[in-house]
Amino acid sequence: MKHLPVADLAIIALYMLAMILTGVWFSKKNKNPDQFTKASGQIPQWAVGISIYATFLSSNTFLGVPGKAFGTNWNAFVFSLSMPFAAWIAAKYFIPFYRNSGEVSAYTHLEKRFGAWARTYAVVCFLLTQLARMGSVFFGIALSLQAMTGYSMQSIMIVMGVIIIVYTVLGGMEAVIWTEVAQGIIKTFGAIIILYFIISKMPGGVDHIIAIGKADGKFSLGSFKPDLTTSTFWVIFFYGIFINLNNFGMDQNYIQRYQATSSGKEAAKSLWLCVKIYLPASLLFFIIGSSLYAWYQVHPEMLNAIKLRAAAERLPSVASVTEMGAMANTLQPADYGDKVLPDFMVNVLPVGIVGIIVSAILSAAMSTISSGMNACATVFTFDIYKRYIKHDISQRQTMTLLFTSTFVIGVLSIITGIAMVGVKSILDVWWQLSGIFAAGMLGLFLLGIASRAKNAEAVMAVIIGVLVIAWMTFPSLIPESLSGIRSSFHTNMVIVIGTLTIFLTGTVFSLLTGNRKNV
């Protein structure tokens, strides 16, 4: 694969410099914790809506979704179809709840409801979820740029991380939101450009793409059978509802954005704007993946080169060409799907356009990571440090703590991304990790706002829920002699069953103990 020319690298460098300058500009206003965490509630709802959309549309989407569509079909698009259901619940119940509470942290309510342990449990789950998310985003962007530039993935993650840390620390939430507005526009424009070049250069155009896709089942949404052991339509649909409920109802990234608008009504509008933009945008990336599949079917020499590179990554460095060829012949499209978009960009797109597209991918990564850093720093400051270490600190000390924790979270997310080098699918690893960590958090939150359970019932429910999550997540730890009790559920069902276990168990316990008074 050829590497990026100087013109494209210059465009990328200018974009990254612009992000740093944005942080410097907003640093002039970033003088107190309220400004750093909530932008003082002065952001227009349309900007918040685009910001939420930009956070959703990470580089996992930009690279992972086309790779997933290339390797399998449109089954993962069902996740997007579930978003309106979760958004309706969030707009009707969650947003008014948070706006009325006035708390900057999403987890303060849990302590009031069940005690300090509940708040701490949710905070730990959130921090682990965000590290997994930011790590997978770092990995995804490094995977793409490594193929284009020849630099090591570790070096790319470190350079990217430093830039993101700088503008996030300097600018706070206001810088995050306004850079995400620009990033949301750039990444959507970049996707449209990619699809244009695929179709314009594809022999036979759209008709040929559709014919190849239909012949190989690339447009399927998955089986509609009532089967929860494989990636059916229903597994992804249920997963989507529950993970999006967690996103819209429990994720500090979104809660801070609700507080950044002037009212609850404006916050609800921003959430629905995100959904309205994300649905067609995510469909665009699935179309890109299917179109790339058709492209490489009519360009087998390019496909063989990708397969050889994928095989080389799986073999020792001393492997012969013959060994790599044999390995390449055994690989399936799902094994190298994440590599096709970077390959198409660097080998087919004209000079200058590649720089714009890479900047779009960078913007997808930066928006997700910067908002995650800001949210994690907020949670650490208000839910851990000020709760357990030292409550009475000045505004200046709080700002210093927010800056420091943002830096530390950024470093930890880079380390997480480096640890992920070698995984098979960006999208799969993120979905699995998010389901594991988010299940307990969402279950406990729903138990707190929709049941009469008290502290004792909540503790028992969480213990049982964690055991169920572990049972579903680590079936290989069960001895072969007890293989009959291993979980056969698909991994995406972890958040569904884990959440329901905690909520229903706590509710039943509260009824059995005669707890009939509202809390």
Q: What pLDDT is recorded for position 398?
A: 85
With cut-offs at 50, 70 and 90, classify the pLDDT of residue 432. low
Contact 276, 81 (CB under 8 A): no
Question: Where are the chain's structural domains?
Answer: 6-420
pLDDT of amino acid 233: 96
Helix (H) or strand (E) holding 95: helix 95-101
> What is the pLDDT, as a whole number, of residue 475?
77
What pLDDT, on the 0 to 100 scale, is given for residue 440?
76
Comparing C-alpha atoms, which of 196, 252, 478, 488 is closest to residue 378? Answer: 252
Q: What's the pLDDT at 425? A: 55
Residue-level length of the chain: 519
Closest alpha carbon to 260 in 90, 76, 40, 438 = 40
pLDDT over 50 (residue 293): yes
* DSSP structural state of residue 105: S
Report the pLDDT value the prediction gives residue 225, as an integer from 0 to 100: 93
Question: What percent of the chain lies above the pLDDT cut of 90?
Answer: 23
**Dist CA 316 CA 322 (whole Å):** 13
**How would residue 517 be classed by pLDDT, with cut points 50, 70 and 90?**
very low
The pair of structure tokens assigned to 289 is: 């993946």
Output the six-digit token pair for 5: 């020319």
Taking CA atoms, 429 is separated from 218, 247, 278, 420, in Å, by: 22, 17, 21, 9
- Written as six digits, the tokens of 64 are 């992972």
Mean pLDDT, all residues of the chain:
83
d(CA 326, CA 322): 6
User: CA separation (Å) from 427 to 136, 290, 430?
Assistant: 8, 16, 5
**Distance (Å, whole) CA 178 – CA 140:** 23
Q: Is a pLDDT exceeding 50 seen at residue 519? A: no
Max mean pLDDT among 97-101, 284-288, 340-344, 384-388 falls in 284-288
pLDDT above 60 (res 145): yes
Kindly list the distances between the CA atom of residue 222 and the CA atoms of 64, 72, 225, 236, 424, in Å, as whole numbers in the listed order.
18, 10, 9, 9, 21
CB 75, CB 236: distance < 8 Å: yes
Is the pLDDT at 146 greater than 60, yes or no? yes
What the block records as the tokens of 164 is 């993101």
80 contacts: CB under 8 Å, gap ≥ 6? 240, 278, 279, 282, 283
Over 50: is that where the pLDDT of 287 sits? yes
Model confidence pLDDT, tens digit, residues 467-512: 898 888 877 778 888 888 888 898 889 889 989 999 999 999 888 8
Q: Could you tell me the two tokens for 241?
A: 């509802």
Find all residues with CB under 8 Å of 251, minimum gap 6, and list them.
106, 126, 129, 375
- Three-state DSSP class for 454? coil
If phi over 0 gives left and psi between -120 and 50 gives alpha, with beta otherwise, what is residue 350? beta
Residue 459: alpha-carbon gap to chain centroid: 29
Reported confidence tier of residue 423, pLDDT bands at 50, 70, 90: low
Q: What is the dihedral of CA 389, 394, 399, 401, to 10 degrees?
A: -20
What are 338-369's pLDDT values in tens digits?
788 888 888 888 888 888 888 877 776 777 78
pLDDT over 80 (residue 322): yes
pLDDT tens-digit map of 55-102: 777 766 777 789 889 999 999 999 999 999 999 999 998 888 888 876
How does pLDDT run across 223-272, given as a tens digit for each residue?
999 999 999 999 999 999 998 988 888 777 788 778 778 888 888 999 99
pLDDT digits (tens, 9 = 90+) for 232-241: 999 999 999 9
Instruction: Tell me what pLDDT residue 210 has.
Output: 95
Res 35: pLDDT: 62
Query: pTM to 2 decimals?
Result: 0.81
- For residue 487, give the 3-state DSSP assignment: coil
In CATH, what is the architecture of 6-420? Up-down Bundle (1.20)
Given a contact cutoff of 8 angstroms between Cβ atoms, the answer to whether 417 and 157 are in contact is yes
Among 81-85, 169-173, 290-294, name the one with the lowest average pLDDT: 169-173
